[in-house]
Structure 1
Amino acid sequence: MRHAPAYGLLAAGLGLAACAPIPVEQAERQCYAQFAPKPPITGEAGMGVTNSGFSSKMKVEMNIGASVQGDPSAAYDSCVYRKSGRMPTRPLYSY
């Protein structure tokens, strides 16, 4: 039981290390994945009848939009700052 205080200090140190800032490049990658523009959802459907009868075709493209309200670039900047403690070295739209 002589090692119990040492284990407690080790656990406290690891807990504080989890709160430490991460490198700005890693924060940029994580925040870009979160705030990057999403591609539109597309689809196509068709329906028909044989012998040149009734035929119909439909093409759909939906843009769900950004996952954040307001300016995605500002949200990206604040995300990088929260994670790394530094402002991003590259803007959101430079990727």
Structure 2
Amino acid sequence: MRPATVFVLLAAVAACGPIPVERAEDECFRQARLASQPRGMVGIGAGSGGLVSKIEVEITSDYLRGRDPSEVYARCVYQKSGQLPTRPLYSRDDWKG
């Protein structure tokens, strides 16, 4: 095997490893918010081409199954970092769930 190929394979394997728990908490926060309620936006406008509208809705299977956002958060953090969360979901200042 060529050295460049070995390096690429090692880099790919390393990327699959656990990440720091703080980073996992940040990444899992959004997933937990989506478990609490759907998110979306509606936009309406007018221009020289006429009326324009846009609707975006994001609904997760966690929400549809009625899963507790705290459990979704803890499970996600554990899967990504191999550790339990160090800060609870609802202690975050930007939680609006």
What TM-score range do you get, normalising by the shorter chain? 0.5 to 0.7
Percent same amino acid at aligned positions?
Answer: 43
Which deviations, in whole Å up to 9, do the C-alpha atoms of 1:36-84 show, x marking residues without a partner? Answer: 255988xxxxxxxxxxxxxxxxxxxxxx9x8423211111101000001
Unmatched segments (≥5 aa) in structure 1: 42-63
Equivalent position of 2:50 in the other structure: none
Equivalent position of 1:19 in the other structure: 16
Could you say what the CA RMSD is over the residues aligned between the two structures, in angstroms? 2.7
1:10 to 7, 11, 27: 7
1:83 paired to 2:42: no
Q: Take 2:21 and 2:75, find their aligned partners in 1: how far apart are those partners?
A: 12
Q: TM-score, normalised by structure 2?
A: 0.61
Q: Secondary structure at 2:28's aligned position in 1?
A: helix
More helix by share: 2
| Aligned length, in residue pairs | 71
What are the equivalent positions in structure 2 for 1:52-91 lying under 5 Å apart? 67=60, 68=62, 69=65, 70-91=67-88
AA matched with 1:35: A
Contact kept? 2:31, 2:72, Cα under 8 Å: no
Equivalent position of 1:93 in the other structure: 90
Equivalent position of 2:27 in the other structure: 30
